[in-house]
Amino acid sequence: MSDTIVLHGRAIVGGIAEGEALVTKETISGWGGINSMTGTVIEMRHELRGVSFKDKILVFPGAKGSSGWSAAFHTARLAKTAPKAMVFTTMTTKIALGAVVMRIPSITELDGDPLALIETGDWVKVDGDRGIVEVTKRAKRAAAPEKIAATA
Amino acid sequence: MNLTDDEKAMLDGHDGAAKRKAMELLVRYSEALGAERFVDTNNVAGVPGSSTLFLKNYYKDHNGGNYEAIFSLFDLDSDEVVPVPKVSAYSCHLQGGMDPNEWATMGQTKEAFEHFQEDEAQVADHGIQIMKTCTPYLAGNVPVKGEHCAWMESSAVVFCNSVIGGRTNTEGRESTSAAMLTGKIPDWGFHRDEFRHGTHAIEVEVPIETVQDWGMLGYFVGGAVEENIPVISGVTYQPNLVRHKHFGAAAASSGGVELYHMVGITPEAPSREIAFGPRNPVETIKYGAAERRKIYDNLNSIGTSTDVDFVMLGCPHYSIEQIWEAARLLDGKKLSPNTKLWIFTSRSVKSMADTNGYTKAIRDAGGLLLTDTCSAISQAIPKGTKVVALDSAKQTHYLPAFMGIEAWFGTTKECVDAAVTGHWRGELR
C-alpha cells in the first residue's frame, strides 16, 4: 500500500500546483454561479453554495450554464480568488477556455474517477506538464503530519 | 494541430501582433479541447473589450485601462498591449451595460455611463455591429442551417443549434474576440456531425402549450440531462419562436444544454432514429404532471411574501410579439404605486415598438421598455426591491441568487397582474 493514489490523465493546461481538494459531484456555473471577487459559489441549491474555491484544487464534473464561464473565472484569476488547479471529468468549451485563461494546471480524462477517489480535504498535487494527479488522503495526512510538512 | 497556411501566417505575426495573440490563444484553447483543426467562421457574437469598472481599474497602469488594453490583456489573454485592428469576421456585440437613455433609472452612475459610451464607440469603430442583445436572431443576425458560428450567450447558442440548425459551441468572451480578428474557431463539438446526435430521451406526457409551460419543460430538461443532448418526443403542440426561446434559455441555465432535438419539429430531428443517429439513448426520462408540478414548486421556492415590488420581463429579450402582448395586457391599466415594471428588449425591436406605440403604451401605464441588458446582466433592480415577479425560468434561476431577493415565476399575464395590483396571485394551471 502506498500512501498516495496516483491518477494519469490528459493535461489541458500545464504547470504544477498542490493544495487541499474541494470536491463536488455537481457542475459549477461561472457567470451567475460564482462571485469572482470573493471566489465563492453563489448558485441557489448548489451543494457548495457559500463555499470558497480560492487556492483549492477544484475537483468537479465540469462547467455548466452561462457562456460567461471563462470571463467569470478569468476575473477570479485577476482578483486572486481562483482555484490553484482543476481536475474534472466532462470536457466542454466553457471549461477548456476557462482553464486556459485562468492559467492553472488542469487535467481531465483520468484513468480513475476523481469524484469517487478524491474527497474534500485530501491533499492533491496536479502536474499539468505530465498529466499526473497525486492524492494523499486526509486520514493518511493526519497519521503522517511530517510527510505533509515535507510536501507542502 | 493541423494549421492551414493562413493560420500559420497569422501565428507567425504576418498579419500583425493582435492576430498573432488571437491565434496563440485559439491554439491553446484548441489543444485543451483536443481539436485537430480550426473551422472558418464569418458569424461571431460576443462582448469584445467590454469592461466593468473592476477591469478598467485593474488594468489602469496599461494605457489607463483603455479599450485596446482590455482587449489585449483580458480578451486575448496577452501579457502585453497590442494595437487592435478592425475585425475581419462579421461580428456583433451581444447584451451588456445599461439602457442608453434610462441608465440613471437603472441606478448607474454618470461615470459608468460615460465609460459605457466610450466602449460602444470603440466597438463600432472596430467594425463590430452594436446589437446589444441576447437575441441576435431577433435583431438581424439570423444564421442558416449548417453555418459555422462562434457565439456566446447560452440562450442564443441553443437557439442557433437547435431551432435553426446552425453550428456553434458555447464560446466565451476570449474565444469570440479572438475569432472576430481571425475568422477561426476550433473544429470541435457542435461543428462536427458526429457530436450532434441525441444522448437522452425525454418523453413528454402532458400537453405543453403556454410560454410558461415551455419554460418549465426547459428547466426540467436542463436539470435532467445537464450538458447532454436531449431528444424530446411527445410534443403535440407546435412551439413558435418565443416558446423555443424560453425553452432553450431555461435548459441552458439549469443545465448546459447547447443543442436539443424535438422529433418532427427541429431541423435535425425529422424522426427519433435520425435524431439519435448511431447512439442509443443513455437514459429515458419522463415529464408528466408530477414532474411539471415539482418544477413549478422548485421555481417558486424562493418566494414567501406576495407583495411584489418589481416585475421584470424580457429574458431572453422580448420579441415584438411579446411586447405587443404586454402592451395589450396593460391597456387601460395603471401600475400599483408600489410596483415597478421593466421590460427588456434589443434596440432594433424597440424601434419597432416605438413606431407601433407600444413603448408609449407601456410608459403610460407606468412601466418602462428598456434595451441593451437585463436586471441579471447589469445587476440592476429598482432601489428597495424585495420581491420580483418573472415570466422567465432563466431569470428566476439567476436574479434572486445575484441580488438576494425573493422571486415568483409565472405567466406573463400573472406578472402584469402583479405589476398592476402589487400582489402575486399566480398558480399552476
Q: Domain map of chain A by residue range?
A: 4-151
Cβ-in-10-Å burial (0-12, 13-18, 19+) of B200 comes to buried
Q: A60 CB near a chain B CB, below 8 Å?
A: no
pLDDT digits (tens, 9 = 90+) for B275-294: 999 999 999 999 999 999 99
Where among B236, B265, B298 does a domain terminate?
Answer: B298
Do A74 and B77 make contact, defined as CB atoms within 8 angstroms? yes
DSSP state, residue B164: I
Mutation target vs A (from B398, B402, B405, B406; most A CBs, 10 A cutoff): B398
- B426 domain residue, yes or no: no
Give the number of domains in chain B.
3
- B394 domain residue, yes or no: yes
Q: Are residues B232 and B307 in the same domain?
A: no
- B428 domain residue, yes or no: no
CATH class of A4-151: alpha beta
Do B402 and A42 make contact, defined as CB atoms within 8 angstroms? yes
* Min Cα separation A65/chain B (Å): 5
In 3D, which of B373, B386, B350 has the Cα closest to residue B97? B373
Annotate B279-297 with b (16+ C-beta within 10 A) or e (fewer): eebeeebebeeebbeebbe
A52 catalytic, yes or no? Answer: no
Q: Return the residue of B nearest to A78 by Cα.
A: B58
Decide if B122 contacts B100 (C-beta within 8 A). Answer: no
Q: Report residue B63 as a C-alpha cell.
A: 494605457
C-alpha span between B140 and A55 (Å, rounded)? 44
C-alpha span between A123 and B135 (Å, rounded)? 45
Decide if B296 contacts B414 (C-beta within 8 A). Answer: no
- B427 domain residue, yes or no: no
Q: What is the ipTM of this complex?
A: 0.92
Q: Return the residue of B nearest to A128 by Cα.
A: B32
Q: What does pLDDT average to over chain A?
A: 91
- B359 domain residue, yes or no: yes
Do B227 and A90 make contact, defined as CB atoms within 8 angstroms? yes
Looking at chain B, how many residues does it have?
429
- B114 domain residue, yes or no: yes
Q: Are residues B17 and B164 in the same domain?
A: yes
User: Which pLDDT belongs to residue A139?
Assistant: 77
User: Which pLDDT belongs to residue B351?
Assistant: 98
Q: DSSP letters along A111-129, please?
A: SS-HHHH--TT-EEEEETT
User: Which pLDDT belongs to residue B148?
Assistant: 98
Annotate B150-177 with b (16+ C-beta within 10 A) or e (fewer): bbbbbbbbbbbbbbbbbbbbbbbbbbbb
pLDDT digits (tens, 9 = 90+) for A35-46: 999 999 998 889
Decide if B408 contacts B426 (C-beta within 8 A). Answer: yes
Angle between helices B320-330 and B412-421 (to 10 degrees): 40
Q: A101 CB near a chain B CB, below 8 Å?
A: yes
Sequence-separated (6 or more) residues with CB below 8 Å from residue B404: none
Q: Are residues B56 and B178 in the same domain?
A: yes
Decide if B93 contacts B75 (C-beta within 8 A). Answer: no
Q: For A70, which of B28, B58, B173 is closest by C-beta distance?
A: B173
Q: Report residue B78 as a C-alpha cell.
A: 496577452
Q: For B253, which of A13, A65, A93 is closest by C-beta distance?
A: A65
What residue type is assigned to position B377 of the chain? I
Do A32 and B401 make contact, defined as CB atoms within 8 angstroms? yes
C-alpha span between B85 and B156 (Å, rounded)? 27
In 3D, which of B253, B416, B250, B397 has the Cα closest to residue B342? B416
CA B199 vs CA B136, B280, B283, B370: distances in Å:
28, 7, 8, 39
Q: Report residue B365 as a C-alpha cell.
A: 401605464
Do B256 and A106 make contact, defined as CB atoms within 8 angstroms? no
Give chain B's contact residues with A (Cβ, < 8 Å).
25, 28-29, 31-34, 47, 54-55, 58, 74, 77, 151-154, 157, 169-175, 186, 188-189, 226-227, 252-253, 255-256, 302, 376, 397-398, 400-402
Ramachandran region, residue B24 (left: φ > 0; alpha: ψ -120 to 50; beta: rest) = alpha
Size of interface A-B (CB pairs under 8 A): 111
Do B153 and A67 make contact, defined as CB atoms within 8 angstroms? yes
In 3D, which of B241, B232, B356, B218 has the Cα closest to residue B292? B218
C-alpha span between B419 and A142 (Å, rounded)? 58
Q: For A42, which of B151, B376, B401 is closest by C-beta distance?
A: B401
CA B24 vs CA B27, B115, B336: distances in Å:
5, 29, 55
Q: Report residue B413 as a C-alpha cell.
A: 399575464
Decide if B25 contacts B180 (C-beta within 8 A). Answer: no
Spans in chain B with pLDDT lower than 50: none
User: Which pLDDT belongs to residue B51?
Assistant: 84
pLDDT band at A135 (very low <50, low <70, confident <90, very high): very high
Do A65 and B175 make contact, defined as CB atoms within 8 angstroms? no
Annotate A114-130 with b (16+ C-beta within 10 A) or e (fewer): bbebbeeebbbbbbbee
Give me the helices (H) in B34-182, please.
Answer: 53-58, 67-70, 110-125, 154-159, 173-182
Domain CATH for B41: 3.30.499
Decide if B162 contacts B170 (C-beta within 8 A). Answer: no
φ/ψ of A23, rounded to 5, equals -115, 135
Q: Are residues B329 and B237 in the same domain?
A: no
User: Which pLDDT belongs to residue A152?
Assistant: 34
User: Please, which contacts does B327-334 make with residues 24 or more away whose CB atoms are closer than 8 Å?
Assistant: B327/B353, B327/B357, B327/B358, B327/B361, B327/B362, B329/B412, B329/B413, B329/B416, B330/B361, B330/B362, B330/B365, B330/B367, B330/B416, B330/B419, B330/B420, B331/B361, B333/B365, B333/B420, B334/B365, B334/B366, B334/B420
Higher-scoring residue by pLDDT: B73, A142: B73
Q: For A44, which of B58, B227, B302 is closest by C-beta distance?
A: B302
* Min Cα separation B32/chain A (Å): 4
Where among B274, B298, B322 does a domain terminate?
Answer: B298
Question: Is residue A149 pLDDT above 50, yes or no?
Answer: no
pLDDT band at A1 (very low <50, low <70, confident <90, very high): very low
Decide if B21 contacts B69 (C-beta within 8 A). Answer: no
pLDDT digits (tens, 9 = 90+) for B349-376: 999 999 999 999 999 999 999 999 999 9
User: Which pLDDT belongs to residue A66?
Assistant: 86
Where among B140, B161, B191 does a domain terminate?
Answer: B191
User: Which pLDDT belongs to residue B357?
Assistant: 98
- How wide is the angle at C-alpha B194 spanned by C-alphas B193 and B199, nearest 5°? 120
- Look up the pTM and report it: 0.94
Q: Are residues B294 and B310 in the same domain?
A: no
**E strands present in B97-240:** 129-130, 150-151, 184-186, 200-204, 230-233
Q: A129 CB near a chain B CB, below 8 Å?
A: no
Q: Are residues B330 and B272 in the same domain?
A: no
* Min Cα separation B399/chain A (Å): 8
Residue for grid cell 424601434: B351
Selecting among A2, A36, A52, A66, the annotated active-site residue is A66
- B309 domain residue, yes or no: yes
Do B253 and A42 make contact, defined as CB atoms within 8 angstroms? no
Annotate B369-382 with b (16+ C-beta within 10 A) or e (fewer): bbbbbbbbbbebbb
Cβ-in-10-Å burial (0-12, 13-18, 19+) of B308 comes to buried
Q: Are residues B180 and B202 in the same domain?
A: no
Q: Are residues B35 and B174 in the same domain?
A: yes
Q: Are residues B177 and B213 in the same domain?
A: no
Q: Are residues B244 and B340 in the same domain?
A: no
Decide if A70 contacts A103 (C-beta within 8 A). Answer: no
Q: Are residues B174 and B275 in the same domain?
A: no
* Min Cα separation A75/chain B (Å): 8
Q: Which residues of A touch B152 (CB under 8 A)?
A: 67-68
Range of the domain at B209: 197-298
Do B33 and A91 make contact, defined as CB atoms within 8 angstroms? yes
- B216 domain residue, yes or no: yes
User: Which pLDDT belongs to residue B402?
Assistant: 86
User: Which pLDDT belongs to residue A141?
Assistant: 67
Q: Are residues B170 and B66 in the same domain?
A: yes
Q: Which residues of B touch A75 (CB under 8 A)?
A: 54-55
User: Which pLDDT belongs to residue A143?
Assistant: 59
In 3D, which of B149, B216, B170, B147 has the Cα closest to residue B394? B216
pLDDT band at A142 (very low <50, low <70, confident <90, very high): low
